[in-house]
Amino acid sequence: MRFSPREVVDLVAAWLALGVAFTFFLDRRLAFGLLSGSVAPLQAADTLVVSMLTVGIGFLLHELAHKVVAVRFGQLAEFRADYGMLALAIGAGLAGFLFAAPGAVYHGGRPVTSRQVGLIALAGPATNVLLAGLFVPLLAVGPLVGVGQLGVTINLILAGFNMIPFGPLDGRKVLSWNSLVFALSFVVCAGLALFSLVFVGTGF
């Protein structure tokens, strides 16, 4: 797996920007304290680290999963950050709502079948479900319960949202390939996302 210098820069920029955006979203008082100068940047470090290790990694590994499968099918694939959308995500965090479209993996080269396109798309939500499972044990570790809750919930929301069969979202590509696979995947991802919102929460 190879990464061009530009791709590395885009990945790091997206990871940092998402961490900042969700730090602002998770703690509004902290956000405005930083802007007003009443809160020192180091006081935001804990929330920033948690955001980058849960939200940031969830988004980026989702995109890298697309790349891994695309390359497996002989495609040339690279992540490109959308800097306008990253700035918008930070602004949205300050305004108190969730919005993040950090960029996408673009792939091309040799021809691919509809099945391969569908599997490339499905790799993202599937990765988020697996990541959520990795955070589950933290729900039983007292000091890390909040990290576990955010890691589980944000990854399952990402999986469920991306399986919506609309526009550039993964669900549309999976549906175009196989309606049965789409139906099963959508029910699992959307059901888990709803469960996490109701019974797990974000911990913040």
Q: Residue 145 corresponds to which amino acid?
A: V
Report the pLDDT value the prediction gives residue 23, as an integer from 0 to 100: 85
Could you tell me the pTM of the whole model?
0.90
Report the pLDDT value the prediction gives residue 39, as an integer from 0 to 100: 61
Residues 127-159: tens digit of each pLDDT: 999 999 999 999 999 899 999 999 999 999 999
Q: Residue 78 corresponds to which amino acid?
A: E
User: Considering Cα of 170, then 171, then 174, then 177, what sign does the dihedral take?
Assistant: negative
| 88: its two tokens | 């918008």
Give the number of other CB atoms < 10 A from CB of residue 30: 17
Report the pLDDT value the prediction gives residue 43, as an integer from 0 to 100: 59
Report the pLDDT value the prediction gives residue 204, as an integer from 0 to 100: 66
What tens-digit pLDDT sequence spans the chain (204 residues)?
A: 789 999 999 999 999 999 989 888 877 666 666 666 666 555 567 888 899 999 999 999 999 999 999 999 999 999 999 999 999 999 888 888 877 889 999 998 888 999 999 999 999 999 999 999 999 999 999 899 999 999 999 999 999 999 999 988 999 999 999 999 999 999 999 999 999 999 898 766
- CA distances to 61, 160, 168, 169 from 184, rounded to whole Å, are 22, 12, 20, 17
* Catalytic residue flag (residue 7): no
Residue pair 131/61 in contact by the 8 Å Cβ criterion: yes
Which residues are CB-neighbours of 25 under 8 A, at least 6 positions away?
Answer: 92, 93, 96, 97, 98
DSSP per-residue letters across 113-125 = -HHHHHHHHHHHH
Pairing of strands 75-81, 103-109: antiparallel
Query: Which listed residue (27, 63, 78, 170) is catalytic?
Result: 63
| 59: its two tokens | 């988004």
| 164: its two tokens | 């919506």
Spatial separation of the C-alpha atoms in residues 140 and 119, rounded to whole Å: 34
Report the pLDDT value the prediction gives residue 28, as an integer from 0 to 100: 67
